[in-house]
Amino acid sequence: MNRPVLTSLAQTEPGKGSWNKMGGQVSGAYPMVGINNVEEELLKTPGGPEKPFININIPKDYYAIPANGWRRNLSLEQARALLLRHVFIRPGERLPLLEALGRAIREDLTVQEDIPGFNRSLVDGYALQGRDTEKAGENAPVRLRVLEEVAAGSNPHFQVSTRTAVKVMTGAPLPAGADAVVKYEEVRREGAEVLVYRRVPAGTGIGKAGQELTAGETVVSRGSPVTPSLLGLLAAAGFKDLPVYSAVKAAIISTGSELAGLGQTLGAGRIYNSNQYFLTALLRMSGVEPVPLGIVPDDAAKIAALVQTALERADLVITTGGVSSGDYDLVEAALALAGVESLFSGISVRPGKSFVAGKKDGKLILGLSGHPGAAFAAFEFLVKPVLKKMMGYKNILPRKIEVILSHDYRKTEARRMKAARLSIEEGIARATILNGQGVLKTLADCNLFVDIPPGKGLLRAGEKISAYAVELFDMK
């Protein structure tokens, strides 16, 4: 394919991002001071369905034109902050309970009544007055007269008074007058009487009205994801449908002339497009609707055309491949051709340093590396927070934890997010960095990224280090 002349594609409008790239030298206009705190500020920014979650105009004092004139190699945190500034929360809708799974709640939900609405028995046994059993002992049983039996779902007719009891099933309403329930296996029944051989203090075996939720209580706050357990709680409280933020659609474009679709015969030098499946699955697990758009060869015009299609069909566009410095790494050029405004190119962390970001029609286009490990790290640290913010989630950043390194590790110049395996040994969280040969095989074991600071030197086994858990099944 003909390689486009990159310089002819440059946008030169001052103050705007530019894709201008000349033989590795870059020019344009942009940042780069004082944005370290932006991320924290963004997280405090209230959002709303009608309003942009965050202001898309970058305040002047956050940015200055850098010496090299190009927004390149931002820190991971700077890159993320910048992306988050360009993200809009999606509008909302009401959905039946189950359809809301994985969505974020759009407003605080409260209950008007106690749940459950009555005191109930937590065991199968006899409801009684605790004080009747004060003198009970193994050899001195207390005899109580049994008034009736109450099953779950039916109502007691009698009131328990002194020296009487009512037989109850688990879940049955507690008869008036009773303040405790003793289990069947702890008593003996003799005709119309029950013999109790132990003290049964008031409160034993009882679930109080409002045990789950009390009238006026907030069940869930805005921005919380709807998880299976939350669905259960909301169903218990009688919610039939839920106000949630809309779903987000993300298109996936796989660039690379070496790629083949599953089912195609692999010619010489070709590989299957595994990234499309990996990313589609990651999106699904994150509650995002994937729009996989297949493979496009290393051809800037073709990539540009598919990016345009993707922008029409999705809320955000992800590409993989073609973002490093090879002759066929044409994604930046393609974005320029497609009229995409540049946000930044490259981040100072490995893997994933090859990453470009742009914007068109109010939508982000995120160019990930084709390397599956780099694409995964970029997804976890950059793409997922952006998607979560669009989906209205209140907690959007990867969760940082401290772990103990289980072996020595020799650092390099660059900051690295190393794929690792978290294990809990005798209550201590330990990380083993994964160094397998196959990238995808290694990633299958990865449940943690350890954050290796930049600069050469040796990290010793037993040292404490920051890490981020990979929460594929936990969307909170």
Ligand X SMILES: Nc1nc2c(c(=O)[nH]1)N[C@H]1C(S)=C(S)[C@@H](COP(=O)(O)OP(=O)(O)OC[C@H]3O[C@@H](n4cnc5c(N)ncnc54)[C@H](O)[C@@H]3O)O[C@H]1N2
Q: Least separation, in Å, of the C-beta of 284 and ligand X? A: 17
Task: Check: CB of residue 368 under 8 Å from CB of residue 318.
Answer: yes
Neighbours of 21 (CB within 10 A): 22
> Please, which of residues 153-172 interact with ligand X by CB under 6 A?
none
> Please, which of residues 202-261 interact with ligand X by CB under 6 A?
254, 256, 258-259
Q: Least separation, in Å, of the C-beta of 350 and ligand MOO? A: 3
- With binding defined as CB under 6 A, does residue 437 bind ligand X? no
Q: Least separation, in Å, of the C-beta of 377 and ligand MOO? A: 7
Among 20, 78, 133, 369, binds ligand X (CB under 6 A): 369
Cβ closest to ligand X, residue 275 vs residue 345: 275
321 binds, among ligand MOO, ligand X, none (CB under 5 to 8 A by kind): ligand X
H/E stretch holding 254 reads strand 249-255
Question: Contact region for ligand MOO (CB under 6 A) — 109-117, 157-165, 331-339, 351-359?
Answer: 351-359
Q: Least separation, in Å, of the C-beta of 258 and ligand MOO? A: 17
Q: Least separation, in Å, of the C-beta of 69 and ligand X? A: 21
110 binds, among ligand X, ligand MOO, none (CB under 5 to 8 A by kind): none
Task: Check: CB of residue 230 under 8 Å from CB of residue 476.
Answer: no
254 binds, among ligand X, ligand MOO, none (CB under 5 to 8 A by kind): ligand X
- With binding defined as CB under 6 A, does residue 374 bind ligand MOO? yes
Among 179, 299, 315, 329, binds ligand X (CB under 6 A): 329
CA–CA separation, 421 and 371 (whole Å): 20
Task: Check: CB of residue 126 under 8 Å from CB of residue 167.
Answer: yes
- For residue 147, the Cα-to-chain-centroid distance in whole angstroms is 54
- With binding defined as CB under 6 A, does residue 271 bind ligand X? yes
Q: What share of the chain is helix, strand, coil (3-state, %, to 5)?
A: 20, 30, 45
Among 133, 255, 369, 442, binds ligand MOO (CB under 6 A): 369
> Please, which of residues 343-362 interact with ligand X by CB under 6 A?
351, 353-354
Q: Which residue is nearest to ligand X (CB)?
A: 370
- With binding defined as CB under 6 A, does residue 76 bind ligand MOO? no
Question: Contact region for ligand MOO (CB under 6 A) — 196-204, 221-229, 296-304, 346-354?
Answer: 346-354
Task: Check: CB of residue 346 under 8 Å from CB of residue 353.
Answer: yes
CA–CA separation, 165 and 196 (whole Å): 11
Task: Tell me how far CA of residue 174 lies from CA of 128, 145, 243, 274, in angstroms.
Answer: 9, 17, 35, 59
- With binding defined as CB under 6 A, does residue 351 bind ligand MOO? yes
How many C-alpha atoms does 411 have within 13 Å on its Cβ side? 20
Task: Check: CB of residue 169 under 8 Å from CB of residue 121.
Answer: yes
Q: Least separation, in Å, of the C-beta of 355 and ligand MOO? A: 8
Cβ closest to ligand MOO, residue 210 vs residue 372: 372
Task: Check: CB of residue 54 under 8 Å from CB of residue 87.
Answer: yes
Among 371, 384, 389, 430, binds ligand MOO (CB under 6 A): 371
Provide the β-strand partners of residue 402: 466
Task: Tell me how far CA of residue 69 lies from CA of 21, 74, 182, 344, in angstroms.
Answer: 11, 13, 78, 11
CA–CA separation, 459 and 465 (whole Å): 9
Among 21, 103, 249, 350, binds ligand MOO (CB under 6 A): 350
Among 353, 359, 388, 415, binds ligand MOO (CB under 6 A): 353
Written as one letter, the residue type at 442 is T
CA–CA separation, 361 and 88 (whole Å): 12
CA–CA separation, 451 and 401 (whole Å): 10
Question: Which residues make up the interface to ligand X (CB under 6 A)?
Answer: 254, 256, 258-259, 271, 273-276, 320-326, 329, 351, 353-354, 369-372, 374
Question: Which residues make up the interface to ligand MOO (CB under 6 A)?
Answer: 350-354, 369, 371, 374
